[in-house]
Amino acid sequence: MSLKSLESMNNRKRFLASILICFTLAWSGCGGDGESGGSGPNDENASKGVIAYSPLTLSNPFFKIIGDSIEATAKKHGYETLMLDPNEDVKTQSDQIDDVISKQVTAIVLVPCNRISIGPAVKEANKAGIPVFTVDAQCAAEGVEIVSHVGTDNFQGGELAGKAMIEALGENGGKVLVLDHKIANSCILRVAGFKKVINAHNKDKASGTIDIVAELASGGNRTDSYKATADQLQAHTDLVGVFAINDPGALGAYTAIDEAGRTESIKIIGFDGQMEGKIAIKEGKVYADPIQFPRKMGVQIVEKIISHLAGEVVEKTVLIPTSLYKKADADQDPELK
């Protein structure tokens, strides 16, 4: 064979070898594993894990906003979100936690339906080595391990609600109804902050005091709040104020007051700053709300999860201050334009 023919043959061999290498690299890049075309271990789109979110209920827009914020932030970090809806039932919530434990989720974010009764389910997650975080409302059960809590400074918000009530009623003061929700630690703190300010206002006053005539369960919803307010309107014909621990409670109270034809003489203070609450403030149905920031809660709780998974020590409790929202704020709110 001539030297020229040998060189030509070697060139062909090198060409074929280069084709084989390119084919192999292309196959590897597609995630081929000899059995299927699924994602390989280096696929950037592969999920790092699942964060389970179990709020009080998803029918309340406030908890849906938190969930959407958790989902968006988790996605940025490569995690999926599993949203659950116990619909305010602690037994359902406990069962859902048991289910996500069996699915070996990466972390659980919880808004306890009952701050005490959820304890056994949280302990099971602790035993399984799944970190549990709370958002908005804390877990008060003994012997549970909560890695971190992110929520509103509810006591501070209650203080703002008390100041708003004093402003709304003026020098005359009068009788006030409180619509509470004692199964949620956050709501207990709101009422405590409210009462602290009202008690300080009443101290050494001979007249114009603000008297809390009843503290009734609101259920955190319109229906129960409507019924409780309607009953008190009959029992106290001189009622002048209502403090409700959330916007649905405030709006339920307004419906009862409106039906009784007493909207001009009774002032309502809500809590939350949901869209429906802001609209009610703009329309003059509700006097003011200490508003929360649910999107911030969702972002910060996921950041705590990511830091914890990275082995970092995270803050045990993060409280976000509220801001008082009144009609002047509603009139300038771009979301209400």
Among 98, 123, 146, identify where a domain stops. Answer: 146
Q: Are residues 141 and 209 in the same domain?
A: no
Q: Are residues 172 and 257 in the same domain?
A: yes
Confidence at 40, pLDDT banded by 50, 70, 90: very low
Please check whether residue 289 is in contact with residue 278, taking contact to mean a CB–CB distance below 8 angstroms: yes
Range of 167's domain? 154-291+326-336
Q: Are residues 141 and 186 in the same domain?
A: no
Q: Are residues 63 and 139 in the same domain?
A: yes
SS (H, E, C) the chain: CCHHHHHHHHHHHHHHHHHHHHHHHHHHHCCCCCCCCCCCCCCCCCCCEEEEEECCCCCCHHHHHHHHHHHHHHHHCCEEEEECCCCCCHHHHHHHHHHHHHCCCCEEEECCCCCCCCHHHHHHHHHCCCCEEEECCCCCCCCCCCCEEEEECHHHHHHHHHHHHHHHHHHHCEEEEEEECCCCHHHHHHHHHHHHHHHHHHCCCCCCCEEEEEEEECCCCHHHHHHHHHHHHHHCCCEEEEEECCHHHHHHHHHHHHHCCCCCCCEEECCECCHHHHHHHHCCCCCEEEECCHHHHHHHHHHHHHHHHCCCCCCCEEEECCEEEEHHHHHHCHHHC
Q: Are residues 68 and 158 in the same domain?
A: no
Confidence at 45, pLDDT banded by 50, 70, 90: low
Examine residue 13 and state whether it is found in any structural domain, yes or no: no
Confidence at 14, pLDDT banded by 50, 70, 90: low
Examine residue 19 and state whether it is found in any structural domain, yes or no: no
State the average pLDDT over residues 233-260. Answer: 97
Examine residue 299 and state whether it is found in any structural domain, yes or no: no
Examine residue 192 and state whether it is found in any structural domain, yes or no: yes
Q: Name the residue among 130, 96, 131 with its Cα closest to residue 113.
A: 96
Q: Are residues 272 and 199 in the same domain?
A: yes
Examine residue 5 and state whether it is found in any structural domain, yes or no: no
- pTM for the full model? 0.79
Residue 253: predicted pLDDT: 98
Q: Is pLDDT at 264 greater than 70 in this prediction?
A: yes
Burial class (CB in 10 A: 0-12, 13-18, 19+), 331: exposed
Residue 196: predicted pLDDT: 98
Residue 103: predicted pLDDT: 97
Q: Is pLDDT at 32 greater than 50 in this prediction?
A: no
Confidence at 285, pLDDT banded by 50, 70, 90: very high
Q: Are residues 183 and 259 in the same domain?
A: yes
2 compared with 170, residue with greater pLDDT: 170
Examine residue 26 and state whether it is found in any structural domain, yes or no: no
Q: Are residues 194 and 116 in the same domain?
A: no
Residue 173: predicted pLDDT: 97
Q: Are residues 56 and 205 in the same domain?
A: no
Q: Is pLDDT at 6 greater than 50 in this prediction?
A: no
Examine residue 120 and state whether it is found in any structural domain, yes or no: yes
131 compared with 140, residue with greater pLDDT: 131
Summarised one tens digit per residue, pLDDT across range 201-217 is 999 899 999 999 999 99
Q: Are residues 190 and 331 in the same domain?
A: yes
Q: Are residues 267 and 142 in the same domain?
A: no
Which stretch of 19-23, 133-137, 333-337 has the lowest confidence by average pLDDT?
19-23
Summarised one tens digit per residue, pLDDT across range 137-156 is 999 999 999 999 999 999 99
Q: Is pLDDT at 16 greater than 90 in this prediction?
A: no
CATH number for the domain harbouring residue 259: 3.40.50.2300
User: CA 144 to CA 156: how far, in whole Å?
Assistant: 26
Residue 46: predicted pLDDT: 75
Confidence at 36, pLDDT banded by 50, 70, 90: very low
Residue positions counted in the chain: 337
Q: How many domains does the chain have?
A: 2
Residue 185: predicted pLDDT: 84
Among 124, 146, 168, identify where a domain stops. Answer: 146
Q: Are residues 78 and 192 in the same domain?
A: no
Examine residue 37 and state whether it is found in any structural domain, yes or no: no
Average pLDDT over the chain, rounded to whole? 89
Please check whether residue 253 is in contact with residue 229, taking contact to mean a CB–CB distance below 8 angstroms: yes
